[in-house]
């Protein structure tokens, strides 16, 4: 019927391995090819981000009577959605160290672009979407590349105060078709190797 060796399928009878190369009827093959397609997904830049953590922007920064730490995702920051994770605590026994966490504060982020655009973004960081309820989290849609000033305001048991820092936001990432093509070649070669091995 086809070229090369035959594969004895319980339902379809004997079919040519090379003619039926993309019909993988054994779950062992399915598992292996799933790993190969996972490799292509990784090569093409597919990522899964979980809330919390990220790149530290400030660590135990002084905000009056509070100590504030901030992490951001993704890395590097690009225009579009940016995730902020904030920790607020009392001062520790040693300067620049954090003490007990403060869980009942009101945390506001104000983001100001340094591009001359006359506006600022404001968003509250809360425990609502936080995986770890010790942190305050927020998502912000940054529409412009360049340097942004981030002002973190904390209102808690000891009053209102703030700290600030700057981040650089890059333009959107371009899609690397050559990388995807190379990954597809790896997948097809792997599938061909698995089928050839099974025919022995």
User: Whole-number mean pLDDT of the chain?
Assistant: 77
Per-residue CA distances from 25 to 3, 4, 30 (Å): 18, 18, 8
Quick check: 123 pLDDT over 90? Answer: yes
What is the per-residue pLDDT across 55-97, written as a single tens digit (0 to 9) for each? 999 999 999 999 999 999 999 999 999 999 999 999 988 877 7
- Mean pLDDT for the stretch of residues 99-125: 91
**Per-residue pLDDT at 176:** 53
- Mean pLDDT for the stretch of residues 127-144: 94
- The residue assigned the tokens 């690397």 is 176
What is the per-residue pLDDT across 168-187, written as a single tens digit (0 to 9) for each? 999 987 765 556 666 677 77
**Per-residue pLDDT at 58:** 96
What is the per-residue pLDDT across 2-31, written as a single tens digit (0 to 9) for each? 454 454 545 445 444 444 444 434 434 444
Is the Cα dihedral 88, 91, 96, 101 positive or negative?
A: negative
Quick check: 122 pLDDT over 90? Answer: yes
The helix (run of H) or strand (run of E) holding residue 192 is: helix 177-198
Note the pTM of the prediction, 2 decimals: 0.64
Q: Check whether the bond before 48 is cis (ω within 30° of 0).
A: no
Cβ contact 34:190 at 8 Å: no
Alpha-carbon distance of 104 to 84, in angstroms, equals 18
Within 8 A by CB and 6+ apart from 143, the residues are: 79
**Per-residue pLDDT at 197:** 73
Alpha-carbon distance of 62 to 44, in angstroms, equals 41
């Amino acid at each position: 019927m086809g070229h090369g060796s035959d594969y004895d399928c319980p339902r379809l009878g004997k079919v040519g391995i090379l003619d039926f190369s993309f019909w993988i009827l054994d779950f062992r093959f399915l598992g292996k090819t799933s790993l190969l397609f996972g490799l292509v997904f990784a090569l093409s830049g597919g990522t899964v981000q979980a809330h919390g953590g990220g790149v530290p922007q400030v660590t135990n920064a002084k905000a009056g009577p509070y100590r504030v730490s901030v992490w951001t995702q993704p890395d590097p920051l690009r225009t579009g959605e940016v995730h902020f994770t904030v920790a607020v605590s009392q001062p520790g026994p040693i300067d620049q160290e954090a003490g007990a966490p403060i869980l009942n504060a009101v945390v506001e982020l104000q983001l100001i672009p340094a591009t001359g655009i006359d506006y600022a973004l404001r968003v509250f960081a809360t425990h609502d979407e936080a995986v770890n309820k010790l942190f305050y989290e927020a998502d912000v849609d940054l529409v412009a590349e360049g340097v942004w000033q981030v002002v973190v305001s904390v209102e808690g048991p000891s009053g209102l105060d703030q700290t600030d820092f700057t981040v650089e936001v890059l333009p959107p990432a371009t899609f690397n078709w050559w990388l995807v093509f190379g990954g597809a070649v790896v997948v097809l070669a792997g599938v061909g190797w698995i089928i050839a091995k099974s025919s022995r």
